[in-house]
């Protein structure tokens, strides 16, 4: 049984709790929404799910209904206490009180891959957390994350679109990403001022270039995104190297797709 709006309100009130703005706490208070998220995640019996920011357990309960086992991570001590009460007696749920940004992920997930991340991510940590997990936690092979719509659009953006930036390249290096749906503000408590988006991220083999040198070029170029590459990458890439990579030195960073960044990185390190 997932939580209705009155149930969310009662859980908070009875435990003397309130949403904490500094932790970006907005609780989903609509059973249909959390069941929709669980369905879109495509998980079921035999799947191992890690949920970040489990809160009062609305999504946790919907995920367990699919037959998946869930490791529910919650940083707020008060909410973690309530969450343990909510899932008491429910098979297949482990509650971990920890900060996802500093968590020892290998210790938590073990040596076997195949984990699925399904989470309503706090807006203030969504981007760095997704990027960090892609960089350092290969055991998580799929993600379905609910984030602020603007953030979601940046995660999946293609070259030459408004949201395209260094984060878009980072995601494309590690995974295929797409917008899986939108979530209206009205299903949250308290109601945020923005719409949310569901983003599906599926790992794939990265290109044949190390991430560090590629991301150094990407970060440097997007740090001055309005400048032509010959200016933003001055000192790192010269004219002949641009030519060897078949990348126009007059281009701006948002014009380059992942393949372009790969060729440019290879050319730089052959020069």
Residue 271 has pLDDT above 60, yes or no: no
Per-chain mean pLDDT for the chain: 94
pLDDT band at residue 17 under the 50/70/90 scheme: confident
- CATH 1.10.8.100 residue ranges of the chain are 211-270
Paired sense of beta strands 69-74 and 196-203, if any: unpaired
Q: Both tokens of residue 161?
A: 């679109």
- CATH 3.40.50.150 residue ranges of the chain are 5-203
Residue 138 has pLDDT above 60, yes or no: yes
Question: pLDDT tens digits for 85-120?
Answer: 999 999 999 999 999 999 999 999 998 899 999 999
Name the CATH topology of 5-203: Rossmann fold (3.40.50)
More confident position, 32 or 27: 32
More confident position, 158 or 122: 158
Window from 23-32, 170-179, 254-263 with minimum mean pLDDT:
23-32
Quote the pLDDT of residue 8: 82
Quote the pLDDT of residue 169: 98
Question: pLDDT tens digits for 228-247?
Answer: 999 999 999 999 999 999 99
Quote the pLDDT of residue 49: 98
Residue 1 has pLDDT above 70, yes or no: no
Question: pLDDT tens digits for 166-210?
Answer: 999 999 999 999 999 999 999 998 888 899 999 999 999 999 999
Give the bridge partners for 203, in sequence order: 175
Across 255-264, average pLDDT? 98
CATH of domain 211-270: 1.10.8.100
- pTM, rounded to two decimals: 0.94
């Amino acid at each position: 049984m997932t939580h209705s709006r009155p149930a969310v309100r009662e859980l908070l009130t009875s435990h003397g709790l309130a949403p904490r703005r500094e932790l970006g706490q907005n609780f989903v208070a609509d059973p249909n929404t959390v069941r929709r998220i669980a369905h879109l995640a495509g998980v079921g019996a035999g799947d191992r799910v890690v949920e970040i920011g489990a809160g009062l357990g609305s999504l946790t309960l919907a995920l367990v209904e699919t037959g998946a086992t869930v490791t529910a991570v919650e940083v707020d001590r008060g909410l973690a206490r309530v969450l343990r009460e909510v899932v008491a007696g429910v098979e297949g749920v482990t509650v971990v009180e920890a900060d996802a940004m500093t968590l020892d992920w290998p210790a938590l997930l073990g040596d076997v891959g195949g984990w699925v991340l399904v989470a309503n991510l706090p807006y203030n940590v969504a981007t760095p957390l997704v990027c960090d997990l892609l960089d350092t936690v290969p055991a998580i092979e799929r993600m379905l994350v609910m984030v602020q719509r603007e953030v979601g659009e940046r995660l999946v953006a293609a070259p030459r679109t408004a949201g395209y930036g260094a984060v878009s390249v980072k995601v494309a290096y590690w995974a295929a990403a797409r917008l899986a749906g939108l979530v209206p503000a009205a299903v949250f408590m308290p109601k945020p001022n923005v719409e949310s988006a569901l983003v599906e991220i599926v790992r794939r083999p990265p290109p044949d270039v190390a991430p560090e040198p590629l991301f150094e070029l990407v970060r440097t170029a997007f740090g001055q995104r309005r400048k032509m590459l010959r200016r933003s990458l001055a000192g790192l890439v010269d004219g002949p190297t641009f030519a060897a990579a078949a990348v126009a030195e007059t281009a701006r960073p948002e014009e380059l797709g992942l393949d372009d960044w790969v060729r440019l990185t290879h050319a730089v390190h052959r020069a």
